[in-house]
Amino acid sequence: MAQQQDKGRINGFSKLGKQQRRQWLLDAFLAGRTTEEFRYFDAGSQDLQQVLDNFSENTVANFPLPFGVAPNVVINGTTYVVPMVIEESSVVAAASSAAKYWATRGGFRAEVIATEKLGQVHFRWSGRPERRAALLPALEQRLYAATAGLTARMEARGGGVRGLSWKHLPAVHPQCYQLLVRFGTADSMGANFINTILEAYAGELELWAATSEELTADERELEIIMAILSNHTPNCVVRAAVSCPIEAMNIPGAGVDAADFVRRFQLAVDIARQDPYRAVTHNKGVMNGIDAVVLATGNDFRAVEAAVHAFAAEDGQYRSLSRCRVVDEVFHFELTVPLALGTVGGLTRLHPLADLALDLLGRPNAEELMCIAAVTGLAQNFAALRSLVTTGIQRGHMKMHLQNILSSLEATVPERQQTTDFFNGRTVSHHGVRQYLEKLREEMERIEG
Ligand code: MEV
């Protein structure tokens, strides 16, 4: 163990070229493997590889994920083909199937409720909290004036700083304060813009404390702690919904009638609103759809995940993000989520597949992309619950699982067909499939002589 640790330490890894980094990893950790195993995933062109390498640091390989599409997604009357990047089998199939189901029942509706983002400057200040009301108006003007050059372009695009408040955080420390700044960031996710403005505000705050004539001597001590956007975006929210008369909610092959299906579906959603253990899994299903679109379009899925789960726990208990109601014999299912997404800036143009994904969607603006991602989350959630309250999730899942196992065993097309037929209605396991395939291959060898 000690030997392994010494061998595994290095200074200046980042300064090595990619081949050297690979070689060092092979020598220190990957006995028996070859550099080919990294090279296999290299991009076809030097230019593309350069683009990918520029996204991150210490790169040694690319990590490909499947890029699929869900067709027939009708949102507010427009039909989209939704790009989805996800490694889990059944997700794209489920989204596609839900999209098709709702396409013949009026489609999805989606609306953006608000698009405000937040950022914070945290600081320690020697003044009294009561002084804030008198000092804030001039300070605010000073901050805006000092950053006018930085905000002008964003303002021309319809964004900018929308206002700020000055909070006291005595629970942290009697001298702890925060500037909470509200932003509009137009079609960009806006992280760079927000952080640039916040850091400029931090600098200006220090200057203000040192020089402002409004301040008394004992109000001049100000220490910046940090300036950073907040990924909590409860005011950057979109709602997606479907509705349909119960009588039209038939689920072919599920063995339940429409009314029974709706009753069971509503109970499943209500369980997820009340029980956090179920809510987390329920919301995971929602995020299967949302994350796949977020990734495909080059957006920040960690930011979205963090925001969504904070939102799900808004009233102090973690709950399902979707809700279901039946009113006057009409089924209503809706999802409300915070989604801080961008269609310009960041990776959206830099990653060639994100660029292609946005082209597939007809170059939506940020609000349209919020609608598309939320609808995909709702579609995914609908498909998961539809399976859960009828056939169970494993039936569909296992079909996909079987195909993955067959791929890993390098099954030929006829082998695939025969194995799929055999496992129809039987329990799928890696071991079972391998055994069956081995037998099949032995049999074939025997026949072929
Ligand atoms: C699996 O990735 C997602 C589900 O567990 C979601 C759910 O249970 O609602 C099927």
**Mean pLDDT over the full length of the chain:** 95
351 is known as an active-site residue: no
Which of 126, 116, 213, 210 is CA-nearest to residue 162?
Answer: 116
Q: What is the pLDDT of residue 428?
A: 85
Ligand 1 centre to CA of 384 (Å) is 6
Instruction: Work out which ligand 1 atom sits closest to the CA atom of 381.
Output: 9
Spell out which residues line ligand 1, taking CB within 6 angstroms.
Answer: 88, 281-282, 284-285, 288, 384-385, 388, 393
- 339-373 tens-digit pLDDT: 999 999 989 989 999 999 999 999 999 999 999 99
DSSP 132-159: HHHHHHHHHHHHHHHTHHHHHHHHHTT-
**Residues 204, 300, 367, 368: which is the catalytic one?**
300
Say yes or no to pLDDT of 183 above 70: yes
300 is known as an active-site residue: yes
Alpha helices in 250-275 (DSSP H): 258-274
- 35-90 tens-digit pLDDT: 999 999 999 999 999 999 999 999 999 999 999 999 999 999 999 999 999 999 89
Residues with Cβ within 8 Å of 345's Cβ and at least 6 positions away in sequence, in order, are 188, 189, 190, 192
- 399-419 tens-digit pLDDT: 778 888 999 999 999 999 999
Ligand 1 centre to CA of 320 (Å) is 12
* Over residues 194-206, mean pLDDT: 98
**Residues 100, 232, 397, 399: which is the catalytic one?**
397
Query: Which residue has a Cα nearest atom 2 of ligand 1?
Result: 285
Place of tokens 């990590």: 63
431 is known as an active-site residue: no
Q: What is the DSSP letter of 362?
A: T
Instruction: Work out which ligand 1 atom sits closest to the CA atom of 393.
Output: 10
**Residues 27, 88, 221, 442: which is the catalytic one?**
88
Residues with Cβ within 8 Å of 235's Cβ and at least 6 positions away in sequence, in order, are 114, 115, 116, 117, 118, 182, 338
pLDDT band, very low/low/confident/very high, at 426 (cuts 50, 70, 90)? confident
Work out whether the CA dihedral 354, 357, 359, 362 comes out positive or negative.
negative
- 291-320 tens-digit pLDDT: 999 999 999 999 999 999 999 999 999 999
